[in-house]
Amino acid sequence: MTRQQQLIAWTESILDITQRWKNKNIHVKISLTDRDFDRHGTSFTHFSMIFNSFYIRTSGVRMMFSGKNNELVEVSTDFLTQVEIIENNLENLIIFTEKLGESELKQTIFRKTTLLLL
């Protein structure tokens, strides 16, 4: 599967899921690290929002998730390396992993964005 085909498949799955999430509370976790997302070398941001909509910029370079109170979470499609979708009786979540580049110490920097239906 080409990168473009993979991106289209991810987008179709995300669109289907987020239509069911409209007006529901979701928890957002964003972490940035040069390691394996362990708690010692990772910075975190956490917040909750009432999910409103999912859309993609016309250029296609950003996926955006907006909340009822103007919250906005963006994921770069250019840097996206993995999308994990988990839907079962215990949890419903989408995990995005982006490869952002290298640090001055030549360590690769990743951002992981998790959207969890509460």
Q: Which tens digit of pLDDT belongs to each residue from 21-62?
A: 999 999 999 988 866 666 777 888 899 999 999 999 888 789
Q: Which tens digit of pLDDT belongs to each residue from 51-107?
A: 999 999 888 789 999 999 999 999 999 899 999 999 988 889 999 999 988 777 667
Q: Which residues contact 102 (CB under 8 A, 6 or more apart)?
A: 108, 109
The answer to whether the CB of 45 falls within 8 A of the CB of 29 is yes
